[in-house]
Structure 1
Amino acid sequence: MPVWRLRARYRSDATPIAPHGVNEAPLAAAPQTDVETRVTRIAMLDWAHFAADVSACTACGLARTRNKAVPGVGDQHAEWLFVGEAPGAEEDAKGEPFVGQAGRLLDSMLAALGMNRAKAVYIANVLKCRPPGNRSPTPLEVEACLPYLDRQIALIQPKLIVALGKSAATTMLHVETTIASLRGRVHRYKGVPLIVTYHPAYLLRNLPDKAKAWEDLCLARATLRGILQADILQTAGRGPT
């Protein structure tokens, strides 16, 4: 049993409650032609320009409230892509995803699979900027930021995506349902197999569900092994059995 499943409860750094009195005047929606031009431009970015483009983005109101944009971190040729909802306070301060207590739990989960965020893994969020107070993203914010995630997927070409939490999962799968109904099976996003599991911040508050998260990761590992085996057979000219 992985050590991260047995650890005692400790305080989560990802409270979803927004402070009172935070008033954001959302940016007006851009004309459709401008949106299409922006999406086309993002779809042509290479790694050399990706982070700078994210940091300079002003497509939604989060550009006015963020400290640092959080493009992503990890192996740019990773087999595994982990996707969360949005940066939290510590991520906003450091410009790197999953660096707080939830990030340390994610690192432990990766270690249980024999991996780390420096090799064979890339970590990102649907949103690249923190919503104030860790509130849920608005549809406009998701629409503005999703082209960046899609470009990351095109650049990385991962073998497998793991959606961390309900928000990331329902956004990528274009559904509105419970995370329980999405777990335990293989979905697809942009043609890439996708497994849904709990967000590490949720697991810090709900320790018994760590066992379910481990089941999800085992499913992800088995799915990836099947994909890699099929690739080997195809390369050898025998095709999948």
Structure 2
Amino acid sequence: MSQDRPLNNAEMLSVLDWYRAAGVDTAMGEDPVDRFAQKPPAPAIMPPRAAAPQTPPPVAAGPVGGDPSEARQLAAAAGSLDELRNILNDYNGCGLKFRATQLVFADGNPQAKIMLIGEAPGAEEDRQGKPFVGRSGQLLDRMLAAIGLDRSSVYIVNTVPWRPPGNRTPTPEELELCLPFLHRQVELVAPKLVMTLGGPAMQTIFKTTNGIIKMRGKWQNVAIGAHEVDALPTLHPAYLLRNPPAKQQAWKDLLSLRMKMNSLGLVEKA
């Protein structure tokens, strides 16, 4: 085993990049501290002096909290997907933007009649600027191919367009700020069918607290913004990578999607 040695600049930068990807943003000491055993310091007695002029507190980098009404107004103003992308690129109301590498807007065919909705970008998606391009994306491609689809016949988005630090679940506040843009995205594409991928996306689109195992495979008509559409929840490809036996359930959902496509005459590629 090599002895401890100081890290060079390149190594320190690599460590910081790893911390950032893991969502670490607070420095801590090496030794644990029992905060319950600590006693508050005795108040210092200072002689009276003339009050110094107060200065305003420093402004934090990035917004503390955005305004959902502003997000709704901005999203409603988009007359096309290109306009919506530009609005999101300029939007600074959601703090996720300030920890992500870039916007992850969408992938696939905006003329498609089938839309897939996931939860949030991961590390690889954050690097490439496209949804579902990592290992789970490769599995998703194989799943689509099994029923005669590919990325030219679907449109793929996420509930939030920026990667949450450490791949955590988006907070309710972050969802509230991002959902108006997703709703407008759905309205502009106007898909005939929607498939949600994973529990968080299902709970967001179906407005439920039920778990994905209970809900998957069941079609419902849902309202996404001003657009009503038949939607089907299924398991997330990342979950299938961790639990291969669950692929049998996902296969049933894919067959259900294919049958629905056939019944609506959506058998050709969009």
Q: Is TM-score (shorter-chain normalized) higher than 0.5?
A: yes
Counterpart of 1:174 in structure 2 is 207
Task: State the alpha-carbon separation in 1 of the partners of residues 209 and 121 from structure 2.
Answer: 22
Counterpart of 2:236 in structure 1 is 199
Q: Is the 8 A contact 2:195 2:231 kept in 1?
A: yes
Distance 1:20 1:91, change over 3 A: closer
Which of 126, 131, 135 is equivalent to 2:164? 131
Q: Is the 8 A contact 2:66 2:177 kept in 1?
A: no
Task: Name the % identity.
Answer: 39
Distance 1:26 1:189, change over 3 A: farther
Counterpart of 1:10 in structure 2 is none
Counterpart of 1:140 in structure 2 is 173
- Bigger radius of gyration among the two: 2
TM-score by length of 2: 0.72
Deviation, structure 1 residue 20: 6.8
Counterpart of 2:51 in structure 1 is none
Q: Is the 8 A contact 1:25 1:61 kept in 2?
A: no
Which amino acid counterpart does residue 256 of structure 2 have in structure 1? L
Distance 1:219 1:19, change over 3 A: same
Task: State the alpha-carbon separation in 1 of the partners of residues 178 and 102 from structure 2.
Answer: 15
2:96 aligned with 1:62, yes or no? Answer: yes
Q: Is the 8 A contact 2:221 2:231 kept in 1?
A: yes
Which residues in structure 2 correspond to 1:5-154 (within 5 Å)?
19=22, 21-23=24-26, 27-31=63-67, 35-45=68-78, 46-117=80-151, 119-154=152-187
Which of 154, 161, 165 is equivalent to 2:198? 165
Structure 2: gaps spanning 5 or more residues:
1-20, 27-59
Counterpart of 2:250 in structure 1 is 213
2:226 aligned with 1:226, yes or no? Answer: no
2:192 aligned with 1:155, yes or no? Answer: no
SS at match of 2:249: helix
TM-score by length of 1: 0.80
User: CA RMSD of the aligned region, Å?
Assistant: 2.0
Single out whichever of 50-59 and 134-143 deviates more from structure 2.
Answer: 50-59
Structure 1: gaps spanning 5 or more residues:
1-17, 230-241
The ranges of structure 1 where at least 4 consecutive aligned residues each deviate by more than 4 angstroms after the TM superposition are: 23-26
Q: Which has the higher contact order (CA 8 A, sep 6+)?
A: 1
Task: State the alpha-carbon separation in 1 of the partners of residues 183 and 171 from structure 2.
Answer: 18
Distance 1:145 1:38, change over 3 A: closer
